[in-house]
Structure 1
Amino acid sequence: MNVQTVMLYQSFLWFRPSLFLRLLFAASIGLTSCIATAQEKYIDSDELLRRIVNTDLNNGDAATKTRFESDYHELMTRSNAREPLAMHNYGWYRFQFCVAVKNTGISVDSLPMCTQAFADLRALAMNTEYAIVFVVPSAMSILGEMYKDGIGTKASRYLASDWFIRSSQQRSSNGDREGAIRALEEALSLVPDHPAGADLRKKLLK
């Protein structure tokens, strides 16, 4: 992301009423520099995400903000190291941020943070080594949402439906029948005549 782009988005978000959104954006592009020292004990990536999401930056003190930045940086580092759970959680968090930006009226199909989140989630979803892990079908569903709404990629109803179908198939293979049905419903709501939909529906509803 070049300096002019950073200044444009920083300027826009800085004057939004949400301090959380401003600080989140600053953290995401590396403008914050106060990173806490290493954690005294290992914190798994689910707990890191929970702490990040639940941090109230509007009312937090300096220590709260420092911990937020440290947790965010740690999750990003693990994702860059290709840890599956961290890739999923960091991708999901950036996806949620991109949704918030899109809701302000900004196009996010080519916003660097959003395109990188899309690329990371796709890499996770395409890695058959992790096929039985819940994060893979979840990543597939997030990709469906991103294609559906044009987040990090150009919008495509068919490609969105295709990723929901993949998610449904993987959830079914993992024994998650209810999750598979929900993903299938999402797929067919976008493309009712998807070629894989009829057979999958028969399999799930028999």
Structure 2
Amino acid sequence: MVGRGEHEEDGRRYVSLAGLRMRGWTTGDLVHRLLGPPDRLSIDPRVRTAPAVRLYRVERVEAAERSHEFRQRAEALERIRTEPIDVPRLDPGKLALRAVGHRAREELRQGRTGDEVCTGRPRDRVSRDRASLDPWKVGYLRERVSSAYDLLLAAPTRPGNPDQAAHGLLQQRICDAIAEAYPALAEECARQAAGPGAEEGGDVAAGTATREGEPHTKIGCGQGPRLG
């Protein structure tokens, strides 16, 4: 019996890339490392001009899914999906004061103008947004939950090849947690979680800190850490 995302050709069962995604293979780098080249290239007879479909033998896929690296990554993603993310709940006045203080510390640390630190926009572009502290509030709250990024340490990666799926999932979880605690900040949090290029001006890069002698990414005002 052929399962979802599987193909049967020449008496063999294969899994397509779409089928691999259904099974939890969320990055092409993981497919390349654990499976290598496809076992077969299939052409859809109905659309012969379409790109060939890469197929991998089910036996090889199942063997890779039993590997330590695949299981370690699956466990890391499950932790990211389920680990509680506790966002501090403050009254509006206190949150605003702490957000401004956080912005001032980032200004001092980065040596940038205060307007650019948390928005990534030039000073003359920010003047229109002075009435809203939402970017600074979200930046402060993301800093407060920055320990959640330690969950990424369990995801197996290679230098220069961060696990973008794990990072994106964690960004979304943090965004959802902040939006649940502060519904009025949901739109700004989603903008920051989308990262640079989400809108003109983008977000500033994060700084780095050291925890107990180990490299550790510190979230800046405008976005989460850069990995790798």
* The two structures share one fold, judged by TM-score above 0.5: no
The higher relative CO (CA closer than 8 Å, separation ≥ 6) is in 2
User: Structure 2 length as normaliser, TM-score?
Assistant: 0.26
Task: Judging by fraction of residues, say which structure has more helix.
Answer: 1
Q: Could you say which structure has the larger radius of gyration?
A: 2
Task: Judging by fraction of residues, say which structure has more strand.
Answer: 2
